[in-house]
Every structure is written in structure tokens, then in C-alpha cells.
Amino acid sequence: MMLVDYLDRGARTAPDAPCFLDPDGTTVMTHGEFRTLTHRIAGALIRDGVRPGDRIGILSTNHPVALAGVAGILRAGAVWTAINVASGSADQARFLATAGCRRIIYHQDLAERAGGLERQAGLDQTRCFSPEPSGGDVFLDWLAPPDYRAPDPTPEPGRVVAMLPTGGTTGLPKAVPITGRQIHLMCLAFQIHLREAAPPRYLCATPMTHAAGLACLPVLAQGGAVIVHNGVLPEQIFSSIERNRASTIFLPPTALYKLLAHPRIREYDYSSLRRFLIAGAPLAPDRLAEAVEVFGPVMTQSFGQAEAPMICTVHEASDIAAAAADPSLAGRLASCGRPSAVARVEIMDDDGTLLGPGLRGEIVVKSDLVFGGYWQDPEATAQTVRPGGWYGTGDIGLRDDDGFLYIVDRKKDMIITGGFNVFPSEVEAFLHTFPAVGDCAVIGLPDPKWGEAVTAVIEPKPGFRIDEQALVAACKAHLGPVKAPKRIIVRELPRSGVGKVLKRTLRDEYWATTTRRI
């Protein structure tokens, strides 16, 4: 079975059912119309000389045509190059050049950005689409005729179908080749762990030309509908869940924090939700418990990486709800769950020995989910290979006696202060228990006495003030003097295009000024 067969399943089973909805509930496109559009895009690409294996990107805010463009690229046998529209143009250009992408399709509102990328990344061809019929004549003229049917691509499960950028939180983004087999396996894990009885209604607010687009694939296959939002606008999301009876939503932790901080969050009906999936970074346990209280027993977590897409572990909604309700299980709110049905996940020490429960080491994965190596970067690829054929995630974790995994921190984020190891995530989790803290990042800064001083950079909730002395005192009482921040900085946090806090940027900024003082 080819990936395009999977994408077509919704059109075969429910051609007249809504495929895309606007937040106001209007049907934008049916499954049958979506399939037709993907064939027309594929035909136009083939007519333009696109060959199997060519890289093509989509530069767009969330829009049905953008996802149809992704499917059209796959149908043409080309490689979807996932541009994160929220990233800066310099990062986008570097990624396109690294991935070998020579063509993009872009939304007319991003014409200026597309022109810049054309120059910076040396693109050969760009195509514009317009959301308005009056402005879309050129795009419509470019498409193949409505009755065109693209030939099926050669069935090669190991063929690269997508290029994903890494998160870029610990260095410049790298290009990750993803095969059809990996995407099939990821979708299978969705079906096993997150399947709904009725066709899902998935509220998509983060960029669908990036990770959120992967989460659309199982929805399309089940004949479900994607409710297309542009950005995380809390009240729009709350009302859309209620109006459109959304059953599934996928967000990173930072976006969830933004929802929870909104004063009107408890004024809406969320009874339609079956799954509220959180992925992309560790989630503060207290915020997860609050989310269960607000949205119901639907909160679900998964752990994965671009190198092993999305579902290496799953923290099932029933397990999270049980941990939120039972104080004796509350510690499990810090877990990212147990290994999914499609992956082996273990803890390994620096010598390559797999560790038992309670021992800290690197989280390693063995699965067909795992990529074959970074594109044209054998040195970076070699750094991920662990003894026995395991993939090293770079995350430090441990497993409890019941098989639940816990991410302690990134290897590169660990702080060594006064000869002691401090894992920032533990300090961050405690800081998140304070009502004034919207989000935070804990980093180590050069210090003549401690080597590195634990430093908390805090973004307050709107309308709240941070009492720095009280916060440090509370940390000392709860965490001890070694782990407590020596300094608190109050400011807005820098974020990547997918909403992750860029600790690397903070460290670079403050290390430069701190080192000069020392």
C-alpha cells in the first residue's frame, strides 16, 4: 500500500463528507474535492518537469490548499519539504538549501517572503496560490484539468517522501529524510492508541505545513474533518471546540499554557473532546493536572522527534486522568507514558548498557519509526548511533517499576553547579506551580564561585508580577539551595517556529554578557 492510497481512503469512504472546516463551521472542502485538487496539483507539477525525488516546499499559513499541496507533491512522487511558516526567513532558507529544495508553492500573503527565499536559497521556481477566487486565476490556470488523474508513484516503502527540519533548539536545523514506511507506522500508532469511534474532527492551530500536518493524515484516512485555525488564539479555539464539536486537538505545551492562562477558559463546553494531545516538549505536571480539570479526562501525551516521528511513547488519557485524581499516582503526571506499540524504548548509560528501573540515562529507541540519518550529514548522524543499533535521542530519562518513562532533561541542558548536576526541568516544573509564572526556562550561566549559576528566565502571565525574592526563597525551601535559582530574569522567552523555548538563544545571549563581566 502506498502513502497516497492512505490519503485517498477518506475520499473512497466518505467523498461528500467535510474534509476542511473554517472555525465558524463552514465546510471549505469535501473529501472528494480534496482528492481532485491533489490530482490537479500533481499533474501541474509533473507537467512542469518535476521528477520523482525532487524536493518541493509549501510556504503557507494554515489553509486547505496548503495541505492539498503536500498531498499533491506526494502524489507526483516528489518529496515534501516541510517549511515551518513560523520560522525566520534565514532558518527557512538554510533548511531549503540543506534539503536541496528547488521549488516552492506559496500563499499569496507570503509573496514577499517567497521572493526572499527565492534569492537566498536559489530556488528555480515558485508558484503562488490565492485563497480568494478572484485572485486565484493564475493558480487555477496552472492546475491540471479537473478530470486529470496522476499515475500512481512506484510503490517503494523505503523511498523518502518528506524532509523535516529538526527543532533547532540545540543548534542549526538539520534535514531529516522521512520514508513512506515511517509515516505509515506513525499513522498505525495513531490508529492503535488514539483512534476514535466516529470520524474525528481535528482542530489544527499550529502549522500544518510542519508537524501538525502529519497529525492530519490519520484524520483524512478516517474520513474526518480538519478544523483549520491560523495560530493559537485562545477564545477562537474555545468557541470553535464548542461550535464544531471538535474531538481532537494537538498542541505543544507552550500553547497549552497560553490557553490555561486565559481568564475565560472555563466558560465553554469541551464535552466533544476525546483526545487533547500534547507533544513537542516536557509538560509541567501541575499544568497537566489543571488541563484535566478544565478539559476533562482527555489529556494525552506522546514523545517523539523529527528523527522518529511523534509516537515513540504514549501517555494514555486514562492513565493521566487516574494520576490527576489519585494523589498516590500524582508523580506519573511527569511521565511521557509507556512505549508505543510500534517502538522499543529503553534507558542506556554512557557505556551502552541498558538500565533498569529508577536509573538515569539516555532515552534510546529501536523502531522502524527511526530515520536512516540526516541528509548529507554523516558526522551528525554518527552522533545519534548507540551500541546495538539503538537511536540516541539526546534526552536524559528514567523508567519506573511500571514501565512509565520520564524525561529528565536534554543532555546539553544539564547544569553543573558547585560540582552537582542540576536538571533544569525539575526546577522549571516547580516554578510552574506559581500562578504568576506563564512559562519559564532554567539555564546555567558562568559564575566564579559555582562554575555555573542556576538562572531562571521567567515569562509572567498577563497582568501578574513576579516577586523574585519570594520565588527564590520558595525554591530553596522546596528544592534545596543547590537547585534553587541564584538569579531570576523576567522577560519574554524566545521561541522556535514550533513554539519551543530556545534555551540555546538564551544561553548565547547571557553567556556573552556574563563572561565579559567575569
- Sequential pLDDT tens for the chain (518 residues): 677 887 889 999 999 999 999 999 999 999 999 999 999 999 999 999 999 999 999 999 999 999 999 999 999 999 999 998 877 788 889 899 999 999 999 999 999 999 999 999 989 888 998 766 554 578 888 999 999 999 987 777 789 999 998 865 445 678 999 999 999 999 999 989 998 888 999 999 988 887 788 889 899 989 999 999 999 999 999 999 999 999 999 998 888 989 999 999 999 999 999 999 998 777 889 999 999 999 999 999 999 999 999 999 999 999 999 999 999 999 999 999 999 999 999 999 999 999 999 999 999 999 999 999 999 999 999 999 999 999 999 888 999 999 999 988 777 787 888 767 788 888 998 999 999 999 999 999 888 778 789 999 999 999 999 999 999 999 998 888 889 999 999 999 998 766 778 888 888 888 766 544 44
| Cα 220 from Cα 211, distance rounded (Å) | 15
Sequence-distant (6+) residues with CB within 8 A of 79 are 53, 54, 55, 56, 73, 160, 161, 162, 163
Pure H helices in 100-179? 111-120, 137-142
Pure H helices in 391-454? 424-431
Asked if 41 contacts 68 with a C-beta cutoff of 8 angstroms, the reply is yes
Task: Let me know if 197 is exposed, middle or buried by CB neighbors in 10 A (0-12, 13-18, 19+).
Answer: exposed
Give the SS3 label for residue 255.
helix
CATH superfamily of the domain spanning 340-410: Luciferase; Domain 3 (2.30.38.10)
CATH of domain 414-517: 3.30.300.30
Closest by Cα among 180, 354, 206 to 279? 206
DSSP strand pairing (79-81 vs 55-59): parallel
Asked if 7 contacts 38 with a C-beta cutoff of 8 angstroms, the reply is yes
Q: Count the alpha carbons within 13 Å of 477 in the hemisphere toward its beta carbon.
A: 7
Q: Are both 3-231 and 414-517 of the same fold?
A: no
Asked if 279 contacts 302 with a C-beta cutoff of 8 angstroms, the reply is yes
The domain spans of the chain are 3-231, 340-410, 414-517
Q: Which three cell numbers stand for residue 114?
A: 517567497
Closest by Cα among 515, 499, 497 to 91? 497
Read off the pTM: 0.84
CATH architecture of 3-231: 3-Layer(aba) Sandwich (3.40)
The distance from CA 122 to its chain's CA centroid, rounded to whole angstroms, is 28
Output DSSP code: residue 260: H
Q: Which three cell numbers stand for residue 304?
A: 517523539
Closest by Cα among 290, 242, 244 to 270? 242
| Cα 50 from Cα 28, distance rounded (Å) | 28
Sequence-distant (6+) residues with CB within 8 A of 270 are 241, 242, 294, 295, 296
